[in-house]
Each structure stands twice: as C-alpha cells, then as structure tokens.
Structure 1
C-alpha cells in the first residue's frame, strides 16, 4: 500500500521533521486564530447589544412618527441622523416606520412586549430588504390628544449586523494572512532546526560510510554536550576504538602465531630433509643419529599440534569457548589434574590439601586450566623439589620452589605468546596462562601469580562457590 503514512515515512528524516514542525505550528496558529475570531465576534456583539439597550428615543420623535403613520399626507416624515432604524408596533402588530427605512419583521417576542408580558427583548431579525438586523424592542407610550389616554406600543431600535460582520471579515483575512506567514516561517524554521539538529547525525553517517569504504578505524567524531547525539557519538567512538583494538590484537596474534610456528616448522623441515637426503643418496644415517632425528621430529610434531590446539582454542568466538556451565566439584577436578601432573614430574613431590568446594563452570575447560597451572609449576621446578597444592573455600593455591618470576615480568605472564627470556628454551607456546586466565574469568573468578616467600612462584585461582548438587538419585 502507498497511503499517506507510507509516503510520509518514505521522506528523508530532515523533511519529516520540518513537515511535523510546520504542521504543529499550523495547528497551533489555526487554533489561536479561530479562538481570536470567536472572542472578537462575541465582544462586538456584546458591544452592539449594549449600545441598543442604552439607546433612548425622544418622545417627540415617537409622537411625530406616530402622527405620520396615522396621516402621511398631512405630516412630514420625521428624520434622524443616529443611524438607527426605529419602528413602532401597536397591539395589532401594525408596523409604523419612517419611509427611509425598510420595515422589520415582527415576531412573538415583539408582540409580548406590546402586550406588556415582558419589558423588553433582544433578537436578530430581517428587514424587508433582506438585511440582517440586531433588534432591541422595549415598551413605550405615545401621547395622543387631550382627554385621550396614552397609547401603549412597543419601540424597536435596530442596527445592521454588517457593522460587526465587516470588521470580522477583515479580521478573518488578517488572521488568515498572518497564519499563512506563520506556517511558511515555521516550515523554514523547522527545516533549519532539522538541518542543525541532524548535523551530528550527518557527521556520524559520513564517518560510518568512511569506515565502511576505507576500513579506517582511527576516525573519531567530536563530542559536544550531553544529549542523545553526544551519547551516540561517544558510543560510535568507543565502538571504533574497540574494533581497532580487536583488529590490532588479531594482527598481533597472527604475527605471534607465525613467529611461534616458524621455529618448530623450520626444525621439522630440517630433520625431514636430512632423512629424505639419506634415502635419496643411499647414505644411511647411523642408527643412534636416526633415532635422535625421529625423536626430534616426534617432539616437534607434538609441539606443533599443541600450539595449533591452543591457537584454535583462542580463536573460537566467545559464545563457543565454553560448553554449558554446570555445578562441579573443584576438589575432584583438581585431584584428577594432580594425577596427570605427577605423571609428568615423577621426580617431584606434590602435596595436596583439598577441601570440598563446588563451582559453576565448564568441567573440561576448568580441568585444562588447572592442568596448565600445574604443568607450569612442574616445568619450572628443579628435580627433587616440592609443589604444594591447597584448596580452601574456593582459593586454589599452587606453590612451586623454582627460580620464580622477576617482578618486571609479572604484568606480562597472561599475555598471549609471552614467554620469559629464561624459559624460551623450554617447550611451550606461551599460550597456557592466557587460556587459564580466560577460563577462570568465564567462570566468574580471577587468577594471580606472585613471588612466593622463600623463592618460587605462587599461583592463586579464586572461584565463587555454588550450591552443592544433590546426590545421584535424590531429588532436589
């Protein structure tokens, strides 16, 4: 459908605002003009009625007019310069009026005044020539000859309604002209207001189009004031800043991943080329060297697979990083992770004090995070040393007795691909602690690494508790 509302919505926002402003002003001006016209008409009518009520007709004029009506051939018609139409009405409804005036229609109200049923009446009537008149009729008496009683009559004085119709007509044209000028001015003002008010929106539109066209995320919109447009501008600036930061992190991730992948791939290619050259030339590699090469290839493949798995874990969107959260026993997950850590560090002593604690998390991701923390402790612990693990009221502490982490390196331990200069010769991708921090944060907790008293490093994972699940087979 292409109705008026559809066509209105199809207009540009600037035109719609100008049209709405012009319409609102037009309605307001029309309402004021109509009210002004009606008020003026009421005042003019009241003024005319008051003038008629206060009009007095000279008794001599009444007598002369009555005498003229009795015998027009013997009397001169009376004259008046007051602009009033004066008409006499007797008990039979007979009208007496000067020849210069057009007789007025006589109604029941006029006859009621003649019969003294009412003292006066005010109404609108038509003259014989069709002119609308405002008529005031009141009782009166005309003196007759000696010995004769006064004649009871009614006197009607009237003025044409054109005396107020013409000013009202002039006022209507003036109001119409002023209203038209006001509407046109309102439309122009509305268009100016729309342009001024939407200028920040135009700037925002241009910025968005520029970003879409050039992918330049450094564009910023000046923010002025505290209105909705300013909030929108600040939101856009925050969005582009976040996108720029995300893109920078993505580029840094790709660069770091390429750098980390280059080392195992280069070593792997070198070993494979040595094995291939031995087969091509027929020069057998000594068994011990061949076993060393194969072990190196296997280790590099393992490192490469681990690195790719970590990259995939970090590259997944936030919605897919974890499975559904559920209430799990943190002490049980830690105990399972400890078993794997003891297999990887058989020469180490790992002590554990695990108090029951339940958390809401994704079990597999949480177990991997704890395994990473324990692997980190195993990796940096000297042979024969001890690793202390304690869980108390949601606070999991892993303390090793290794070389520790320098204070200037602590702020970087959770960054992707960051590795301490002293640990670059050890296996690992530099992604383990980054994955741990993300998993713990998704579970509502936090993690911190700090130097331990007496040497070594202490890792502390704090997770909020959850209600203990009921035993299997027992309804909640």
Structure 2
C-alpha cells in the first residue's frame, strides 16, 4: 500500500472513530437536554401557579374559586398558534392538577381525577415532605412514547404547606424538538464529516505527490542518472529532505569521480613504475662507478616506494567502496598471521634486531580485512620501534593490542594519526604515506569496531576492538 493510501486510511479511521464517539455522545444527550429544559420551564410555571392558588387560600385551606377553575380550564383549552423556530404549536399540552395536604386531588384540568388519592405519586409525595417532587409516568406501560413528565410545587399559606400543584408535559409534546435537534445534528454532522474527508483526501494526495516526486528523484540518482533536483514550494521537512538528497548526490558524485581518477591513475602508473624499477635493476648490474650506483639504488628505492603507495591507495579505495563486510566471520588465529608477517618483514626485523611476542588468542572477524589491519598495525609498530626492543601482540576476547617501545605520539597528533595522508616522521626514516592507520580505522568501522592509539610512557599501544 502506498504512503498516500496509508495516510488516507489512517486519517479516515481516526476521523470515523472520533465522529462516531462525538455523534453518539451528542445523540445520547439530545433528548435529556431537551427534557431538562422543559423541566426547568415547568418548575417556573408550577411555582407561579402555586402563588396564584395560595392567594385564594382561606383559614389554611386551598379554595378552588370558580374564577380560578374557569381560568385554568380556559388555559387548558387555548390554541396558541405559536411558531417556535419553525415548529407549530396549536394546543396546550400541559396537564394541571392540585392536591390538598393529604394528596387528594382538588382540581384536574382534564376533569378525570378529582377526588382521587395521588399521595403515592412521587411528585405529590416528595413535595408534601418538603422536598423537590417530580416523576415520569407512562399512560401505556408498554409504550415509551406515552410518558408524561410531572413537576410539582408546594402551595403555602403563611409558611404552612397546604397543598401541591403539579404540571405535566407529555413526551409527545417534546418529541418534535428532540427529532429536529437529532435531524440537524445528523445533517450538519454528516456535512462536516464529508468536508473533513475531502480535506483529508486532498492532504493525503498533496503529501503523496510531494513524496513521489522525491522518490522518483532518489531512484533516478540511484540509477546513475542526472535528474534536475525537484523544486518544492514552501519550507517543510520534505523540501529539507530533497535538499539533503541533492547535497548527498553531489558529494557522492565528487567522491566517486575522485576515486575513479585515483584508481585510474594508480593502474596507469603501475606499469611505468615496474618498467622504471626493472630498468634501474638492470643499470645497477651494469654500472661500475660507485657514484652512479647511488643513483640507480635511488631509482629502485623510489620506484618501489611509489609502487607500495599505489598498492595502498588501491586497497584504501576498495575499502571505502564497501558498505559492509561479508557476513562470513571466522575465528582467526593472530599468531598465524603474525608469523606470516614476520616472514615477509624478516630483513627489516633483523636490521633493527627486533623481536615479536604474540599470544595464542583468536578474533572473530572477516579474515582478509583483519589480516590487512594487523599487517598495517605491525608495520607502523616496526617503523617507530627502537632497535633491540620487543613488539608485543595480544588478542583477548574481541580486543587486539599491538605495543612497541619507541617515541610517543605528540598530544596534538593523537586525534589525527588515523586521518588519510597524515603521518609523523620516524627516526632515520622517510615520511610514510599516511594510509596505514587510515586503512585500519576504515576496517574497524566496517566491522562496527573502533581503533584507538595511546601513549604508554615508553612507546605506543594500538587497540583494535571488534564487536563480539
């Protein structure tokens, strides 16, 4: 699944869940809120009527005067013809009844319940106890639509409770307002949801379009093409990433061009150098004068040094082109490698009267690159070791150390000795190419390890740590 599709699906999922929770909450609260509003209005009306009825009380008793009865009956029969926010109200739905201090109905606006005992109903029962009285009762117990909400108010005369007046509002009178509220919520909620979905789709398309442009550019770069960098309006992470990819591409192209030139140059120089060295060796055999011998020896020595430098440059180029080492690793015996190095450097070791001490440890590593790293560390130790001393090689766990006795590394050079082409002069020797420790550091990085060089007081210790 593409990125834009994933973003769109994830956005729809989140929006759907949020919309469902919100609408469920709103629809669940719509009816209670309308009923609460209606109840609050009934409370005000009931208390108003209670005061009107109390004004006719006599000797602490409720008196239903003909004028009051006629007024309440006329109220029940009114046709208000009101337009309430688009809903027509053509009749009075409020049911009014008045009970005495014992709960007996003294007046009923429907004219059906006068004389009955309503003291068991919560609206009357609770109000007679001095509490807030209200109830909801169904006229048909099997039909929720027939429920009627009643609210009562106490009738007092000189502070004494002498009766209760109750007002009832049928659920059918409230239902149109609830239905309209739910309908509006459904319409406007659905419209808002559609707008959000449209905006989400546009956002996913916009992001996907920008990412696809960047992806095509990166793929073209990976295929060695030379596409023009994509241009993005505004400033965001995608534009920053495009600029970073462009900068990386230019650096890689420069580096690749430099590596190709170095490789080409080294290959082209090896044959002439071999010819020069061969010619020097032939001349050395033919020349008899000592002065000319010095020139031929210098030609042979310098051609050999240049050939060694080219070999190191090629080895360094091969290492830098590797993204990672092959997965194969094996237990490499350090003692065997050291013996091989000693055979190849026999004359140099004998010239400086150096000995090599090595333990029987092994390292888990890629054999060829570890051999190259160890040979370079030993060559570096040999170059700086004082005559008549010992080079110590120790392998333990995942750590390889090479110690020599000789001049220490100056403090200013400790952080730079592993840089390419940076070298320090050895006593009585020419300056080296500065590639040996750089190759060891590159090999350590390819293994995921580290190379450090430290002064030991009477020499230098090189420590190669590989991951276990």
TM-score, normalization: structure 1? 0.51
Aligned twin of 2:259: 253
Aligned twin of 1:351: 354
Q: Report the alpha carbon displacement of residue 462 of structure 1 after superposing the two structures with TM.
A: 1.5
Residues 366-445 of structure 1: pairs in structure 2 closer than 5 A: 366-375=370-379, 386=387, 388-391=389-392, 395-398=401-404, 414-415=419-420, 432-441=436-445, 442=447, 444-445=449-450
Q: Report the alpha carbon displacement of residue 323 of structure 1 after superposing the two structures with TM.
A: 2.4
Q: Report the alpha carbon displacement of residue 49 of structure 1 after superposing the two structures with TM.
A: 8.2
Aligned twin of 2:172: 165
Q: 2:19 touches 2:193 (CA, 8 Å); kept in 1?
A: yes
Q: Distance in 2 between matches of 1:59 and 1:179?
A: 48
Larger radius of gyration: 1
Residues 159-198 of structure 1: pairs in structure 2 closer than 5 A: 161=169, 165-185=172-192, 187-188=194-195, 191-192=198-199
Aligned twin of 1:21: 15
Q: Report the alpha carbon displacement of residue 461 of structure 1 after superposing the two structures with TM.
A: 1.7
Q: 1:398 touches 1:459 (CA, 8 Å); kept in 2?
A: yes
Aligned match of 2:219 in 212, 225, 242?
Answer: 212
Q: Determine helix, strand or coil for the equivalent of 1:318.
A: coil
Give the aligned CA root-mean-square deviation in angstroms.
6.7
Structure 1 residues 380 and 40: alpha-carbon distance in aligned structure 2, compared to 1, 3 A threshold: closer
1:264 aligns with 2:270: yes
1:38-96 Cα shifts (integer Å, max 9, x gaps): 2322452575589679676954559xx9xxxxxxxxxxx999313177899xxxxxxxx
Q: 2:331 touches 2:363 (CA, 8 Å); kept in 1?
A: yes
Structure 1 residues 52 and 267: alpha-carbon distance in aligned structure 2, compared to 1, 3 A threshold: closer
Q: How many residues get paired?
A: 371
Q: Distance in 2 between matches of 1:459 and 1:321?
A: 32
Structure 1 residues 40 and 337: alpha-carbon distance in aligned structure 2, compared to 1, 3 A threshold: same
1:425-451 Cα shifts (integer Å, max 9, x gaps): x9x99865543333345373425599x
Aligned twin of 1:36: 30
Q: Determine helix, strand or coil for the equivalent of 1:354.
A: strand
Structure 1 residues 361 and 112: alpha-carbon distance in aligned structure 2, compared to 1, 3 A threshold: same
Residues 291-310 of structure 1: pairs in structure 2 closer than 5 A: none
Q: Distance in 2 between matches of 1:12 and 1:338?
A: 58
Q: 1:18 touches 1:187 (CA, 8 Å); kept in 2?
A: no
Q: Distance in 2 between matches of 1:373 and 1:193?
A: 61
The runs of 5 or more residues in structure 1 that have no matched partner are 1-5, 66-76, 89-96, 139-156, 275-284, 290-294, 421-425, 468-476
Q: Report the alpha carbon displacement of residue 348 of structure 1 after superposing the two structures with TM.
A: 1.3
Q: Distance in 1 between matches of 2:388 and 2:194?
A: 80
Q: Report the alpha carbon displacement of residue 158 of structure 1 after superposing the two structures with TM.
A: 9.2
Q: 1:322 touches 1:365 (CA, 8 Å); kept in 2?
A: no
Q: Determine helix, strand or coil for the equivalent of 2:74.
A: coil
